[in-house]
Structure 1
Amino acid sequence: MEHKNLNASKLIFKVDPTSNVDEEVNIAGWEIGEFKAYVTEHSYGDNTYSRFIFSIQLKRPMLSSFVKNVLPVIVITTISLLTFFISPQNFSQRIGLGVTTLMSATTFHLALLSGIPPIGYLTLADRMMLSIYTIFLYNLLVSVYIMKLVDTKKAEEAQKFNKKAAKILPILIIALLIIQLTI
């Protein structure tokens, strides 16, 4: 906060050390954390102004965050991965399940994004959803390749490829988790 007309030679803000956030303040879905207030100076051309800055740290409660933001994605992804248990000969069900869950995940991602203001960096939710999209892409690529094998009457090869792809899946998931934890 700065005064529009009074520069630092006429007005200098001071922090009241007893200032704090009212204990009655409640923001639905958030926990109020640390409160900070400090004063700096900011220059606009030849004029310097006193600037009062205050911030309140907001945190989401862990359990409700997990239930609202992570659990639905886990359920959608698990449903998507059921395609590996569907016979390669039933490729239309495999593709249908993969596409439907991809659309569900995309819709869920958009709903997640609507709950936060626009920002210029990837949030944890964005990074998590990019990993989920990677898993869905893998799933759809496997299903399309299996469909191609079945169409060319190579059902046994399709079955073997499905088993191989299912074994690679945990490695892909672990790699994506490691990437998530290191970024």
Structure 2
Amino acid sequence: MIVEQDDDPIDFTNELPEFNFINARDVEYSNITIEPHLYEVQVKGTFFNEMEFEDFPFERLIMAVEVEPVRPYTSDLSYMVIDPDSHIDKTVKVPGWETGDYQIRVEEYAYDETDQFPRFTAEFVVERSVLGSFVKYIFPVSMITGLSLLIFYIPDNFTPRIYLTAPLLLLLIYLHQGALDDIPPVGYMTMFDKVMLINYSLFITAIGSLAIQMKSHVTHSDHKKVKQINDRMRYIIPAIIVVGIIVIFGT
């Protein structure tokens, strides 16, 4: 916080400025420098703000620091100005994330009709690596689902098909729940949940096809009909993928 006017009546050596970090707790101050028109302090604390995880695992999160003056109590007597040299330190790193754009602004915030405060906000974006997220989350579940679809190419032997699909389905559910542990509990569907719906639909199609073929084999012992059912269900798979993508991601 700096005041450049030589004739300004404010003298920080006589009265320190009071300000509040709106979205922080356990704030600690250190390395304080005080001059008549300069008050510099290093701040450490736990900051929080709303985050949206709809695009998980490709989400972009906004990290914010919000500051308001405590005294004076009216915006007519308090001013917050952005220094042109203000910026986010280039050495800032968030493990496992990539840092993106940043924005620094000052705007009026009204708690009611009479209480208005200038609020300083510094925001910067962190996001996951697209390639890293694909390899870590999307590729494993897609590979498991792809393996389950091999039942359409296994000869007329139902036992190996059952042994192939059942463990893979359990593994798919396990990976789904494990991936969601990487984000806080949310009450809405993420992009990853939508991808998993497509995978579950493919599994249901594969298992349903297997059940129909087994019933036809036991009831009619018609190997030709069993093969026809297998071929028809196999050709439905691409349609399920396309329709799933359109319905889930198009809404």
TM-score, with normalisation over the residues of structure 1? 0.82
Percent of aligned pairs with the same amino acid:
29
Partner of 1:107: 174
Matched, 1:146 2:216: no
Corresponding residue for 2:56? none
Determine if the alignment matches structure 1 residue 86 to structure 2 residue 165. Answer: no
Aligned mates of 2:127, 2:187 — CA distance in 1: 19
- Unaligned stretches of 5+ residues in structure 2: 1-65
Aligned 8 A contact 2:68 2:120 in 1: no
The letter for the 2-side match of 1:158 is: V
Choose from 213, 233, 241 the match for 1:165: 233
- Bigger strand share: 2
- Relative to structure 1, is the Cα distance of residues 46 and 139 closer, same or farther in structure 2, using a 3 angstrom cutoff? farther
Cα deviation code 1:39-90 (max 9, x no counterpart)? 3303158633443333221222232222212221221111111111123441
- Higher helix fraction (1 or 2): 1
> Residues 52 and 165 (structure 1 numbering): CA distance in 2 closer, same or farther, change over 3 Å?
same
> How big is the alpha-carbon RMSD for the aligned residues of Structure 1 and Structure 2?
2.6
Q: Where do 5+ consecutive residues of structure 1 fail to align? A: none
* Structure 2 residue 122 is matched with structure 1 residue 54: yes
Matched, 1:77 2:77: no
Alignment-derived partner of residue 28 in structure 1: 95
> Which structure is richer in relative contact order (CA contacts within 8 A, separation 6 or more)?
1
1:107-146 counterparts in 2 under 5 A? 107-146=174-213
Q: State the TM-score, normalizing by the size of structure 2.
A: 0.62
Q: CA–CA distance in 1 between the matches of 2:184 and 2:82?
A: 28
**Partner Cα distance (2:123, 2:214) in 1:** 55
Q: In the superposition, relative to structure 1, how do residues 12 and 149 fare at CA in structure 2: closer, same or farther (>3 Å)? A: farther
- State the alpha-carbon separation in 2 of the partners of residues 2 and 118 from structure 1: 28
Whether the 8 Å contact between 2:82 and 2:106 is mirrored in structure 1 is yes
Q: Is the 8 A contact 1:42 1:51 kept in 2?
A: no
Looking at structure 1, the residues matched to 69 and 181 of structure 2 have their Cα atoms a distance apart, in angstroms, of 33
| 2:132 corresponding residue in structure 1 | 64
User: Counterpart of 2:96 in structure 1: which amino acid?
Assistant: G
Count how many residue pairs are aligned between Structure 1 and Structure 2: 182
Give the whole-Å Cα distance in 2 for the aligned partners of 1:121 and 1:13: 38
* CA deviation after TM superposition for structure 1 residue 115, in Å: 1.7
Contact conserved, 1:95 with 1:144, CA < 8 A, in 2? no
CA distance in 1 between partners of 2:141 and 2:179 (Å): 11
